Amino acid sequence: MTPERFKTISELRIVLDRHRASGAEVGFVPTMGYLHDGHGSLIRAARSANDVVIASIFVNPLQFAPDEDLAAYPRDLDRDAALAADAGADYLFVPSVEEMYPFGPVLTTVAVSDLSERWDGASRPTHFAGVATVVSKLFNIVGPCRAYFGEKDFQQLAVIRRMVADLSIPVEVVGCPIVREPDGLAMSSRNIYLSAEDRAAAVVLRRSLDAGAESALSAGADPDTIESAMQAIFDAEPRAKLDYLAVVDPATLRRPDALGSEVQLLVAAYLGSTRLIDNCTVQRGS
């Protein structure tokens, strides 16, 4: 069934309050729309664990820098509604910018220091404050028991988990595995921007992670050797412009001096003007 759409906070709250009053648990999937099967997997996860499932579609201006792709960000609400319906959403929240930010520029923001400052945060200095602010606002609007985020945005997930812990927001944050195209490219709404040549070359991110994972599992591995193995894959792909690659501790997102039992490999690169990110966890045993 097509999910019922709400454009205003007040209308949505009336419906969700009624569900909560009857004891229903609300699962929430925040998105910026142009949904793909990665979003579908989040909605399906929410469907399997909650009585009511709501997805939001809001291209949040706060998380885009002035030179980024806010105006061009792909939008197709009817297509999104069909995908959300197939995946099992009951409701869609599709607020306007004016509904979310009625006073214009916000004076109150949420910033998760430290975790927001490295990697993507270094390349996009205002991004994570924009994400944390809109996600905390959406949590206040929706009041979910559980909220679902993709692990492709690994740093975003870490920032949101920390925000929820630091501010004691009563929601369980659920991370869901990356969904990939058959050739290994992580699904992303921004993949639509890629030319055919860049789309073919974009698999370099996944190949770099695979090389890093193989290196991480080899005897005597250390962060330098892993990063060299990842770098070598980029050196062989002239279409890709590397932003960063990193071996990090999954909890702190800091580069470790020595490898622990679990390491996280992160990568970000431009194909043409499209910036893509990817990551993987490597379990090295104890």
**For the purposes of burial, counting CB atoms within 10 Å of the CB of 140, is it exposed (0-12), middle (13-18) or buried (19 or more)?**
exposed
Give me the 249-268 binding string for ligand PAF, x by CB under 6 A, dash otherwise: --------------------
Burial zone of 235 (CB within 10 Å; 0-12 exposed, 13-18 middle, 19+ buried): exposed
131 binds ligand PAF (CB under 6 A): yes
Catalytic-labelled residue, pool 19, 36, 39, 127: 39
Nearer to ligand PAF, 164 or 211 (CB): 164
Q: Which residues contact 278 (CB under 8 A, 6 or more apart)?
A: 152, 178, 186, 205, 206, 209, 266, 267, 268
In the bound state with ligand PAF, the residue whose beta carbon lies nearer, of 58 and 234, is 58
The interface with ligand PAF within residues 28-57 (CB under 6 A) comprises 30-32
Q: Does 209 bind ligand PAF (CB under 6 A)?
A: no
Alpha carbons within 13 angstroms on the beta-carbon side of residue 137 total 23
Catalytic residue list contains 36: no
- Is 227 in a helix, a strand, or coil? helix
Helix 223-235 vs helix 204-216: crossing angle, to nearest 10: 150
Strands 26-31 and 172-176: unpaired
Q: Which is nearer to ligand PAF, 61 or 262 (CB)?
A: 61
Among 41, 50, 60, 136, contact with ligand PAF (rule: CB under 6 A): 60
Q: Which of residues 212-241 bind ligand PAF (CB under 6 A)?
A: none
Among 26, 135, 147, 269, binds ligand PAF (CB under 6 A): 135
Query: Within 142-181, which residues bind ligand PAF (CB under 6 A)?
Result: 153, 156
Separation between Cα atoms, residue 186 and residue 276, nearest integer Å: 9
- Site size toward ligand PAF (CB under 6 A) is 10
Residues that bind ligand PAF (CB under 6 A): 30-32, 60, 63, 131, 134-135, 153, 156
Catalytic residues: 39
